[in-house]
């Protein structure tokens, strides 16, 4: 059989890694795929750099649109990123009957519904294992490995940069700012780190996982986001004392009234495996009704790990390229006419547990006032510690963990407690999940 001909759009970090993996493991890959896979065309604005990288082994073009329209290309790999040109390129590739492999989570989370519909209509595949957790085959696990299950929830560390920062804060006692600077120095965080630390990147990935788990369309706009910028050493320390670590988790859950879809710092019991995932590594916990909890762990970013996913997709697409579309796994795990309209829950309809910290005046009756407000708001307390801060003599820190409560009730309680004269400054609220 003739080799599968691939057009590569973007030969930067991941594109370069994909070129390298396909070259160095060509034999191993062909032994598995039963067919050679060759990148025959490369499009990159840095034509000179691209030429130097690929030599005479592939044609180099500056116009990516030429590649997606080329007659002698079977699969297009889009690694340009972003949601504008990349979208046009993917749609144009589909229009020309090309299969698409991509790691572009931002594009899929925001325009995936349109792209998958176009691909469905044209009978081509869009594969995207590299979009979540680098080379960890979590998309495959959800679309194929766990098909027997009614998925109950997913909780994942899916942004390596913010996990690195949280690890540094906990292990070295650094402030958020210092840990961020460290991450930037090591090349883990961009000069403008907002995308990672504010949870946008994690929300893109969570949107994709949620669609696959529950058979719902991509709904990035409805994903609740809270970043790690506000976390302090105090809260990391108190959490540790209570037996918890703070992780930026993406959580999506099938609740009674809808699907929860939320990214925020979360207290996780220290003995959970996922609480011990440190540095830039990613891990995703998936709870199925039959299989129970399963966890998938590995490098969430980087040239070669992401290339591992891109090339695995190439092999999958290569195997099914001449098969009827009906033999293929549906893009979003469920048949396209079987997507569910279950709504995404607004955050104040979410029920979970909470860590609350507040500084109060050290006077009689303070605790009685606070616990009265909580009781009035239907919130019960699971654990509480009271600590004298070193620097203030007549003030006390109160830290508590609540039982499960409705976010709306907790917000109301925080508002009411904030109005008490004895409560000094802002009340810190971090969600807590037992993940069982």
Interatomic CA distance for residues 76 and 93, integer angstroms: 7
Between 12 and 346, name the residue whose CB sits nearer to its own copies. Answer: 12
Interface residues with its own copies (CB under 8 A) are 17, 21-22, 25, 28-29, 31-34, 129, 134-137, 140-141, 144-150, 215, 273, 276-277, 283, 288-299, 304-305, 307-312, 314-316, 319-320, 322-324, 326-330, 333-335, 338
Smallest distance, its own copies to C-beta of residue 23, A: 11
Interatomic CA distance for residues 286 and 151, integer angstroms: 7
**Among 372, 353, 345, 375, CA closest to 430:** 353
Smallest distance, its own copies to C-beta of residue 415, A: 40
Q: Which two tokens stand for residue 142?
A: 């959800």
Smallest distance, its own copies to C-beta of residue 293, A: 7
Between 314 and 417, name the residue whose CB sits nearer to its own copies. Answer: 314
Between 326 and 391, name the residue whose CB sits nearer to its own copies. Answer: 326
Between 29 and 417, name the residue whose CB sits nearer to its own copies. Answer: 29
Smallest distance, its own copies to C-beta of residue 371, A: 36
Number of C-beta neighbours around residue 186 at 10 A: 11
248 strand-pairing partners = 265
Query: Residues 6 or more apart from 268 whose CB is under 8 A from it?
Result: 244, 245, 246, 247, 249, 274, 275, 432, 433, 435
252 strand-pairing partners = 154, 261
Q: Which two tokens stand for residue 164?
A: 């690195």
> To the nearest 5 percent, what fractions of the chain are helix, strand and coil?
40, 25, 35
Q: C-alpha distances in angstroms, 408 versus 176, 302, 346, 378, 383?
A: 28, 39, 10, 11, 21
Crossing angle of helices 26-33/303-320, nearest 10°?
Answer: 30
Number of C-beta neighbours around residue 243 at 10 A: 14
Smallest distance, its own copies to C-beta of residue 195, A: 23
Smallest distance, its own copies to C-beta of residue 214, A: 10
Interatomic CA distance for residues 336 and 217, integer angstroms: 10
Smallest distance, its own copies to C-beta of residue 355, A: 23
Q: Which two tokens stand for residue 270?
A: 């220290």
Smallest distance, its own copies to C-beta of residue 30, A: 8
- Is 181 noted as a catalytic residue in this protein? no
Between 318 and 353, name the residue whose CB sits nearer to its own copies. Answer: 318
Interatomic CA distance for residues 215 and 213, integer angstroms: 6
Catalytic residue among 53, 140, 205, 247: 205
> Do residues 427 and 418 make contact, with C-beta atoms less than 8 angstroms apart?
yes
Between 254 and 264, name the residue whose CB sits nearer to its own copies. Answer: 254
Smallest distance, its own copies to C-beta of residue 285, A: 9
Between 316 and 407, name the residue whose CB sits nearer to its own copies. Answer: 316
Between 46 and 320, name the residue whose CB sits nearer to its own copies. Answer: 320
Between 141 and 198, name the residue whose CB sits nearer to its own copies. Answer: 141
**Among 249, 275, 252, CA closest to 263:** 249
> Do residues 279 and 114 make contact, with C-beta atoms less than 8 angstroms apart?
no
Interatomic CA distance for residues 420 and 414, integer angstroms: 10
> Three-state secondary structure along 51-85?
HHHHCCCCEEECCHHHHHHCCCCCEEEECCCCCCH
Which sequence positions are flagged as catalytic?
205
């Amino acid at each position: 059989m003739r080799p599968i001909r691939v057009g590569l759009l973007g030969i930067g970090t991941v594109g370069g890694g994909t070129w390298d993996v396909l070259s160095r493991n060509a034999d191993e890959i062909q032994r598995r795929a039963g067919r050679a896979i060759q990148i025959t065309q490369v499009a990159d604005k840095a034509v000179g750099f691209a030429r130097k990288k690929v030599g005479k082994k592939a044609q180099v073009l500056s116009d990516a649109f030429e590649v997606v329209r080329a007659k002698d290309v079977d699969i297009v790999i889009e690694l340009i990123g972003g949601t504008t040109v990349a979208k046009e390129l993917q749609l144009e590739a589909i229009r020309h009957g090309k299969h698409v492999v991509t790691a572009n989570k931002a594009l899929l989370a925001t325009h995936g519904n349109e792209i998958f519909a176009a691909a469905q209509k044209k009978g081509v595949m869009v594969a995207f294992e590299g979009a979540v957790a680098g080379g960890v085959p979590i998309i495959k696990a959800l679309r194929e490995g766990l098909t027997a299950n009614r998925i109950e929830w997913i909780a994942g560390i899916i942004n390596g940069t913010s996990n690195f920062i949280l690890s540094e804060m906990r292990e070295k006692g650094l402030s958020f700012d210092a840990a961020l600077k460290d991450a930037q120095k090591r090349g883990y965080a961009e000069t403008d780190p907002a995308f990672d630390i504010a949870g946008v990147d994690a929300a893109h990935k969570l949107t994709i996982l949620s669609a696959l788990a529950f058979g719902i369309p991509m709904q990035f706009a409805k994903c609740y986001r809270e970043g790690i910028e506000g976390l302090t050493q105090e809260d990391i320390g108190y959490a540790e004392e209570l037996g918890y670590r703070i992780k930026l988790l993406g959580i999506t859950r099938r609740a009674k009234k809808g699907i929860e879809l939320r990214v925020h710092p979360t207290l996780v019991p220290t003995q959970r495996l996922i609480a011990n995932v440190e540095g830039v590594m990613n891990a995703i916990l998936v709870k199925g009704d039959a299989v129970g909890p399963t966890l998938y762990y590995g490098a969430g970013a980087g040239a070669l790990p992401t290339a591992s996913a891109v090339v695995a997709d190439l092999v999958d697409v290569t195997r099914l390229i001449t098969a009827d579309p009906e033999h293929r796994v549906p893009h979003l795990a469920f048949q396209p006419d079987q997507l569910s309209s279950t709504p995404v829950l607004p955050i104040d309809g979410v029920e979970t547990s909470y860590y609350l910290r507040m500084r109060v005046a050290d006077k009689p009756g303070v605790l009685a006032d606070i616990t009265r407000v909580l009781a009035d708001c239907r919130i019960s307390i699971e654990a509480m510690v009271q600590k004298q801060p070193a620097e203030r003599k007549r003030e006390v820190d109160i830290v508590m963990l609540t039982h499960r409560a409705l976010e709306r009730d907790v917000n109301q309680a925080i508002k009411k407690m904030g109005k008490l004269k004895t409560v000094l400054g802002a009340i810190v609220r971090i969600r807590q999940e037992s993940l069982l």
